[in-house]
């Protein structure tokens, strides 16, 4: 195995976090579906897929490095919400927590002189900048729109999801 056990352990723990994030975004998307907010719902269904992709990327890395990928228990997520703002705030807090977790994995890799993992994790470091920045923008838009959620839907309808925009650009 190319990586140490403690590095493999923190990556396996992150797999659970990414799946939990995916489930949380799915629960938020379903709330938006119930509230008939199709743009917000679509945005969060995409976010859920993206987090699933992050978990898969980590599992694939463990496999490639000769470690044993293990999927731990995924904690229950929040399914009931009182407002759109509450959902977006939860999403932003979650992205900030994930950013700290990613930084911690890089710290462990650096401590172990594990340059392979350090380099692999750089993709996630950069991804978190986009995730926190776009969620923080969305929270500002939601706050500014107040009770007029049509404004938020309108904003999202002309602002492509970052992932969809990257795919369209062939990235």
Residue 131 buriedness (CB in 10 A; 0-12 / 13-18 / 19+): buried
Residues 34 and 22: their CA atoms lie apart, in Å, by 19
Piece in contact with Fe ion (CB under 5 A), picked from 12-20, 29-37, 62-70, 134-142: 12-20
Piece in contact with Fe ion (CB under 5 A), picked from 14-22, 36-44, 72-80, 104-112: 14-22
Q: How many CB atoms lie within 10 A of CB 10?
A: 16
The reply on whether position 131 binds Fe ion by CB under 5 A is yes
Angle between helices 115-145 and 84-111 (to 10 degrees): 160
Nearer to Fe ion, 154 or 163 (CB): 163
Binders of Fe ion: how many residues, by CB under 5 A? Answer: 4
The reply on whether position 17 binds Fe ion by CB under 5 A is no
Binder among 28, 41, 51, 106 for Fe ion (CB under 5 A): 51
Nearer to Fe ion, 18 or 114 (CB): 18
CA angle 126-131-135, nearest 5°?
155
User: In the complex, which residues of this chain contact Fe ion (CB under 5 A)?
Assistant: 18, 51, 54, 131
């Amino acid at each position: 195995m190319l990586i140490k056990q403690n590095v493999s352990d923190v990556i396996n723990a992150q797999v659970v976090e990414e799946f939990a994030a995916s489930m949380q975004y799915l629960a938020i998307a379903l709330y938006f579906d119930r509230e008939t907010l199709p743009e917000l719902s679509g945005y969060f269904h995409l976010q859920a897929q993206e987090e699933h992709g992050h978990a898969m990327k980590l599992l694939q890395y463990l496999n490639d490095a000769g470690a044993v990928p293990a999927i731990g228990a995924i904690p229950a997520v929040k399914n009931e919400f009182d407002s759109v703002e509450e959902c977006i705030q939860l999403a932003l807090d979650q992205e900030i927590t994930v950013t700290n977790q990613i930084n911690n994995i890089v710290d462990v890799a650096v401590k172990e002189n594990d340059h392979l993992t350090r380099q692999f994790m750089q993709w996630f470091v950069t991804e978190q900048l986009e995730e926190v920045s776009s969620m923080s923008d969305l929270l500002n838009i939601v706050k500014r729109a107040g009770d007029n959620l049509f404004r938020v839907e309108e904003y999202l309808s002309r602002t492509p999801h970052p992932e969809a925009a990257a795919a369209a650009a062939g990235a």
